Amino acid sequence: MIEPLLVDRVAVVTGGGGGIGAATARLFAEHGAHVVIAEIDEQLARRTAEEITGSGGSAFAVVTDVRDGNQVAQLARSVLDRYGRVDVLVNNVGHWVRHPGGFASTDPELWDELYRVNLHHVFLVTRAFLPAMLDRRAGAIVNVSSVEGLRGYPEDPVYAAFKAAVIHFTRSLAVQVGHDGVRVNAIGPDVTESLQVPYSQWLTADEQAQWPQWVPVGRMGLPEDQASVILFLASDLSAFVTGHTIPTDGGTGAAGGWFRSSRRSDREWTNRPAAP
Protein backbone atom coordinates (compact mmCIF):
# COMPACT_ATOMS: atom_id res chain seq x y z
CA MET A 1 0.00 0.00 0.00
CA ILE A 2 1.45 3.36 -1.03
CA GLU A 3 1.58 5.91 1.76
CA PRO A 4 -0.69 8.95 1.13
CA LEU A 5 1.24 11.65 -0.67
CA LEU A 6 -0.90 14.76 -0.14
CA VAL A 7 -2.14 14.49 3.43
CA ASP A 8 -3.90 17.70 4.54
CA ARG A 9 -2.76 19.63 1.48
CA VAL A 10 -5.14 22.01 -0.26
CA ALA A 11 -5.35 21.30 -3.98
CA VAL A 12 -7.25 23.28 -6.59
CA VAL A 13 -8.10 21.45 -9.82
CA THR A 14 -9.59 23.49 -12.64
CA GLY A 15 -11.95 21.59 -14.89
CA GLY A 16 -12.14 19.08 -12.07
CA GLY A 17 -15.65 17.88 -12.79
CA GLY A 18 -14.91 15.37 -15.54
CA GLY A 19 -12.26 13.54 -17.53
CA ILE A 20 -8.64 14.06 -16.51
CA GLY A 21 -9.65 16.73 -13.99
CA ALA A 22 -12.10 14.47 -12.17
CA ALA A 23 -9.64 11.57 -12.14
CA THR A 24 -7.05 13.93 -10.64
CA ALA A 25 -9.47 15.25 -8.02
CA ARG A 26 -10.41 11.72 -6.95
CA LEU A 27 -6.80 10.56 -6.77
CA PHE A 28 -5.73 13.62 -4.80
CA ALA A 29 -8.54 12.99 -2.31
CA GLU A 30 -7.49 9.35 -1.98
CA HIS A 31 -4.06 10.66 -1.02
CA GLY A 32 -5.44 12.88 1.73
CA ALA A 33 -5.82 16.24 0.00
CA HIS A 34 -8.59 18.75 0.52
CA VAL A 35 -9.69 19.11 -3.10
CA VAL A 36 -11.30 22.20 -4.59
CA ILE A 37 -13.07 21.44 -7.86
CA ALA A 38 -13.25 24.55 -10.04
CA GLU A 39 -15.62 23.71 -12.86
CA ILE A 40 -17.88 25.63 -15.25
CA ASP A 41 -20.43 22.79 -15.38
CA GLU A 42 -22.27 22.87 -12.06
CA GLN A 43 -23.71 19.37 -12.41
CA LEU A 44 -20.32 17.81 -13.09
CA ALA A 45 -18.73 19.78 -10.28
CA ARG A 46 -21.31 18.75 -7.68
CA ARG A 47 -21.32 15.13 -8.80
CA THR A 48 -17.56 14.71 -8.53
CA ALA A 49 -17.42 16.48 -5.18
CA GLU A 50 -20.20 14.24 -3.86
CA GLU A 51 -18.42 11.13 -5.13
CA ILE A 52 -15.31 12.15 -3.21
CA THR A 53 -17.06 13.08 0.02
CA GLY A 54 -19.25 9.97 -0.21
CA SER A 55 -16.06 7.90 -0.24
CA GLY A 56 -14.74 9.65 2.84
CA GLY A 57 -12.60 12.25 1.09
CA SER A 58 -12.55 16.01 1.40
CA ALA A 59 -13.81 18.10 -1.51
CA PHE A 60 -15.98 21.04 -2.37
CA ALA A 61 -17.03 22.48 -5.69
CA VAL A 62 -16.83 26.08 -6.86
CA VAL A 63 -18.66 26.79 -10.10
CA THR A 64 -16.16 28.91 -12.02
CA ASP A 65 -15.48 30.01 -15.56
CA VAL A 66 -11.69 30.29 -15.40
CA ARG A 67 -11.70 32.51 -18.49
CA ASP A 68 -13.32 35.25 -16.39
CA GLY A 69 -10.91 37.22 -14.21
CA ASN A 70 -13.59 38.22 -11.69
CA GLN A 71 -14.71 34.63 -11.21
CA VAL A 72 -11.11 33.48 -10.80
CA ALA A 73 -10.56 36.14 -8.14
CA GLN A 74 -13.67 34.92 -6.33
CA LEU A 75 -12.44 31.34 -6.55
CA ALA A 76 -9.16 32.33 -4.93
CA ARG A 77 -10.96 34.21 -2.16
CA SER A 78 -13.21 31.20 -1.50
CA VAL A 79 -10.26 28.84 -1.20
CA LEU A 80 -8.11 31.13 0.94
CA ASP A 81 -11.01 32.09 3.21
CA ARG A 82 -11.84 28.43 3.74
CA TYR A 83 -8.35 26.98 4.16
CA GLY A 84 -5.98 29.89 4.56
CA ARG A 85 -3.58 28.49 1.99
CA VAL A 86 -3.18 26.59 -1.25
CA ASP A 87 -0.54 23.90 -1.69
CA VAL A 88 -1.25 22.53 -5.16
CA LEU A 89 -2.73 24.08 -8.29
CA VAL A 90 -3.61 22.02 -11.35
CA ASN A 91 -4.42 24.13 -14.41
CA ASN A 92 -6.29 21.43 -16.28
CA VAL A 93 -8.80 23.35 -18.40
CA GLY A 94 -8.29 23.27 -22.15
CA HIS A 95 -10.17 22.61 -25.37
CA TRP A 96 -9.57 22.45 -29.11
CA VAL A 97 -13.04 24.09 -29.49
CA ARG A 98 -13.71 22.92 -33.06
CA HIS A 99 -11.85 21.88 -36.18
CA PRO A 100 -10.95 25.13 -37.94
CA GLY A 101 -9.93 23.99 -41.40
CA GLY A 102 -6.91 25.56 -43.07
CA PHE A 103 -5.21 28.41 -41.21
CA ALA A 104 -5.61 30.81 -44.14
CA SER A 105 -9.37 30.71 -43.75
CA THR A 106 -9.64 30.71 -39.95
CA ASP A 107 -11.53 33.39 -38.07
CA PRO A 108 -9.49 35.56 -35.66
CA GLU A 109 -12.41 35.26 -33.23
CA LEU A 110 -11.61 31.55 -33.00
CA TRP A 111 -8.02 32.43 -32.16
CA ASP A 112 -9.31 34.49 -29.25
CA GLU A 113 -11.49 31.60 -28.08
CA LEU A 114 -8.58 29.20 -28.23
CA TYR A 115 -6.35 31.66 -26.40
CA ARG A 116 -8.78 32.18 -23.54
CA VAL A 117 -9.50 28.50 -22.94
CA ASN A 118 -5.97 27.17 -23.44
CA LEU A 119 -3.54 29.85 -22.26
CA HIS A 120 -5.07 33.01 -20.82
CA HIS A 121 -6.80 31.14 -17.99
CA VAL A 122 -3.46 29.57 -17.02
CA PHE A 123 -2.13 33.09 -16.48
CA LEU A 124 -5.26 34.21 -14.60
CA VAL A 125 -5.50 31.26 -12.23
CA THR A 126 -1.77 31.05 -11.57
CA ARG A 127 -1.59 34.75 -10.75
CA ALA A 128 -4.56 34.38 -8.39
CA PHE A 129 -2.96 31.61 -6.32
CA LEU A 130 0.78 32.14 -6.70
CA PRO A 131 1.08 34.96 -4.13
CA ALA A 132 -0.24 32.67 -1.37
CA MET A 133 2.35 30.04 -2.33
CA LEU A 134 5.12 32.62 -2.38
CA ASP A 135 4.10 33.90 1.07
CA ARG A 136 4.48 30.37 2.48
CA ARG A 137 7.50 29.58 0.28
CA ALA A 138 5.87 26.32 -0.74
CA GLY A 139 3.67 25.05 -3.51
CA ALA A 140 3.38 22.95 -6.64
CA ILE A 141 1.75 24.00 -9.90
CA VAL A 142 0.96 21.48 -12.63
CA ASN A 143 -0.19 22.68 -16.03
CA VAL A 144 -1.91 20.40 -18.53
CA SER A 145 -0.59 21.10 -22.00
CA SER A 146 -0.80 18.61 -24.88
CA VAL A 147 1.32 16.50 -27.16
CA GLU A 148 0.31 19.05 -29.78
CA GLY A 149 2.41 21.62 -27.95
CA LEU A 150 5.44 19.38 -28.42
CA ARG A 151 5.09 18.53 -32.11
CA GLY A 152 3.71 19.99 -35.31
CA TYR A 153 -0.08 19.86 -35.41
CA PRO A 154 -1.29 20.51 -38.96
CA GLU A 155 -4.98 20.33 -38.09
CA ASP A 156 -4.81 23.45 -35.92
CA PRO A 157 -1.56 25.45 -35.70
CA VAL A 158 -3.18 28.06 -33.46
CA TYR A 159 -4.23 25.53 -30.82
CA ALA A 160 -0.75 24.00 -31.01
CA ALA A 161 0.86 27.40 -30.51
CA PHE A 162 -1.09 28.04 -27.30
CA LYS A 163 -0.29 24.59 -25.96
CA ALA A 164 3.38 25.20 -26.72
CA ALA A 165 3.10 28.51 -24.89
CA VAL A 166 1.84 26.68 -21.79
CA ILE A 167 5.01 24.59 -21.87
CA HIS A 168 7.29 27.62 -22.15
CA PHE A 169 5.35 29.49 -19.47
CA THR A 170 5.83 26.45 -17.24
CA ARG A 171 9.56 26.40 -17.91
CA SER A 172 10.05 30.12 -17.44
CA LEU A 173 7.91 30.56 -14.33
CA ALA A 174 9.62 27.58 -12.72
CA VAL A 175 12.97 29.33 -13.03
CA GLN A 176 11.54 32.58 -11.69
CA VAL A 177 9.92 31.14 -8.53
CA GLY A 178 12.07 28.10 -7.82
CA HIS A 179 14.12 29.91 -5.17
CA ASP A 180 10.84 30.83 -3.46
CA GLY A 181 9.87 27.20 -2.83
CA VAL A 182 7.35 26.87 -5.66
CA ARG A 183 7.71 24.18 -8.31
CA VAL A 184 6.04 24.41 -11.74
CA ASN A 185 5.73 21.46 -14.11
CA ALA A 186 3.41 20.25 -16.85
CA ILE A 187 2.21 17.18 -18.69
CA GLY A 188 1.66 16.70 -22.42
CA PRO A 189 -1.09 14.08 -22.93
CA ASP A 190 -1.82 12.16 -26.10
CA VAL A 191 -4.25 9.38 -27.12
CA THR A 192 -6.15 9.68 -23.84
CA GLU A 193 -9.90 9.46 -23.31
CA SER A 194 -11.29 12.79 -22.10
CA LEU A 195 -14.43 14.91 -22.25
CA GLN A 196 -13.14 16.70 -25.34
CA VAL A 197 -11.70 13.58 -26.99
CA PRO A 198 -13.99 10.60 -26.28
CA TYR A 199 -12.11 7.98 -28.29
CA SER A 200 -14.40 5.20 -27.07
CA GLN A 201 -17.29 6.97 -28.84
CA TRP A 202 -15.43 8.21 -31.89
CA LEU A 203 -13.65 5.06 -33.00
CA THR A 204 -15.12 1.97 -34.59
CA ALA A 205 -14.34 -1.46 -33.20
CA ASP A 206 -11.89 -2.00 -36.06
CA GLU A 207 -10.12 1.26 -35.29
CA GLN A 208 -9.95 0.48 -31.57
CA ALA A 209 -8.37 -2.87 -32.44
CA GLN A 210 -5.46 -0.95 -33.98
CA TRP A 211 -4.30 0.58 -30.70
CA PRO A 212 -1.45 -1.98 -30.40
CA GLN A 213 -0.14 -0.78 -33.77
CA TRP A 214 -0.53 2.93 -33.14
CA VAL A 215 0.54 3.31 -29.51
CA PRO A 216 3.77 1.75 -28.20
CA VAL A 217 2.19 0.75 -24.87
CA GLY A 218 -0.55 -0.97 -26.85
CA ARG A 219 -3.68 0.73 -25.55
CA MET A 220 -5.62 3.95 -25.27
CA GLY A 221 -4.78 6.23 -22.37
CA LEU A 222 -7.24 6.74 -19.54
CA PRO A 223 -7.79 9.82 -17.38
CA GLU A 224 -6.30 7.89 -14.47
CA ASP A 225 -3.02 7.54 -16.38
CA GLN A 226 -2.72 11.31 -16.55
CA ALA A 227 -3.84 11.76 -12.95
CA SER A 228 -1.07 9.49 -11.67
CA VAL A 229 1.62 11.65 -13.27
CA ILE A 230 -0.04 14.83 -12.02
CA LEU A 231 0.00 13.33 -8.52
CA PHE A 232 3.73 12.65 -8.85
CA LEU A 233 4.39 16.25 -9.90
CA ALA A 234 2.20 17.62 -7.12
CA SER A 235 3.81 15.53 -4.38
CA ASP A 236 7.17 15.50 -2.64
CA LEU A 237 8.21 12.56 -4.83
CA SER A 238 9.13 15.21 -7.42
CA ALA A 239 10.72 17.64 -4.95
CA PHE A 240 13.75 18.10 -7.22
CA VAL A 241 11.77 18.40 -10.46
CA THR A 242 10.71 21.76 -11.82
CA GLY A 243 10.37 23.43 -15.20
CA HIS A 244 9.66 20.22 -17.06
CA THR A 245 6.86 18.87 -19.22
CA ILE A 246 6.38 15.11 -19.08
CA PRO A 247 4.97 13.67 -22.31
CA THR A 248 2.17 11.44 -21.02
CA ASP A 249 1.55 9.91 -24.40
CA GLY A 250 1.94 6.15 -24.20
CA GLY A 251 5.15 6.44 -26.18
CA THR A 252 3.76 8.14 -29.29
CA GLY A 253 6.28 10.96 -29.05
CA ALA A 254 9.19 8.58 -28.61
CA ALA A 255 8.00 6.56 -31.61
CA GLY A 256 8.42 9.67 -33.72
CA GLY A 257 5.87 8.68 -36.31
CA TRP A 258 6.87 5.03 -36.55
CA PHE A 259 4.13 2.43 -36.20
CA ARG A 260 3.99 -1.33 -35.95
CA SER A 261 3.11 -2.87 -39.28
CA SER A 262 0.50 -5.61 -39.46
CA ARG A 263 0.57 -5.82 -43.26
CA ARG A 264 4.23 -6.10 -44.15
CA SER A 265 6.00 -9.43 -43.79
CA ASP A 266 9.45 -8.01 -44.42
CA ARG A 267 9.49 -5.29 -41.75
CA GLU A 268 7.95 -4.91 -38.31
CA TRP A 269 7.79 -1.11 -38.44
CA THR A 270 6.63 1.49 -40.94
CA ASN A 271 6.61 5.27 -41.19
CA ARG A 272 4.60 5.25 -44.39
CA PRO A 273 1.38 7.29 -44.56
CA ALA A 274 -0.64 4.24 -45.61
CA ALA A 275 -2.51 2.35 -42.90
CA PRO A 276 -0.02 0.16 -41.02
Q: Helical H runs in 6-88? A: 19-30, 42-54, 69-83
Q: Which of 174-188, 202-216, 256-270 has the highest mean pLDDT?
A: 174-188
Q: 169 versus 195: which is more confidently predicted?
A: 169
What would the pLDDT profile of 132-172 be if each residue is shown by its tens digit?
999 999 999 999 999 999 998 888 999 999 999 999 999 99
Domains by residue range for the chain, with CATH: 10-204+220-256 (3.40.50.720)
Query: How confident is the model over 7-23, as a mean pLDDT?
Result: 98
% pLDDT > 90, the chain: 79
Q: Could you tell me the pLDDT band of residue 272, with boundaries at 50, 70 and 90?
A: low
Q: Could you tell me the pLDDT band of residue 274, with boundaries at 50, 70 and 90?
A: low
Q: Answer yes or no: is pLDDT of 3 > 80.
A: yes
Query: How confident is the model over 240-248, as a mean pLDDT?
Result: 98
> What is the predicted pLDDT for the residue at 259?
75
Which residue type is seen at 169? F
Separation CA 125–CA 92 (nearest Å): 11
> What is the predicted pLDDT for the residue at 257?
77
> What is the predicted pLDDT for the residue at 275?
57
Least confident segment among 40-54, 66-80, 251-265: 251-265
Separation CA 21–CA 223 (nearest Å): 8
Three-point CA angle 205, 210, 213, nearest 5°? 175
Which of 267, 262, 272, 254 lies closest to 215, judged by CA? 254
| Longest distance between any two alpha carbons in the chain, whole Å | 66
Q: Answer yes or no: is pLDDT of 239 > 90.
A: yes
Least confident segment among 104-118, 141-155, 185-199: 185-199
Q: 258 versus 252: which is more confidently predicted?
A: 252
Catalytic residue among 115, 153, 159, 199: 159
> What is the predicted pLDDT for the residue at 276?
56
Judge whether 159 counts as a catalytic residue: yes
Contact indicator for 6, 237 with CB cutoff of 8 Å: no
Element (H, E) at 5: none
Query: How far from 70 is each of 66, 77, 254, CA to CA, in Å?
Result: 9, 11, 41
CA atoms within 13 A on the CB side of 20: 32
Q: Which of 189-193, 204-208, 272-276 has the highest mean pLDDT?
A: 189-193
Q: 151 versus 173: which is more confidently predicted?
A: 173
Element (H, E) at 162: helix 157-177
Separation CA 69–CA 56 (nearest Å): 33
> What is the predicted pLDDT for the residue at 235?
98
Instruction: Specify burial of residue 104 (Cβ count, 10 A radius: 0-12, 13-18, 19+).
Output: exposed
> What is the predicted pLDDT for the residue at 144?
98
Name the DSSP class of 192: B
Q: 274 versus 31: which is more confidently predicted?
A: 31
> What is the predicted pLDDT for the residue at 269?
79
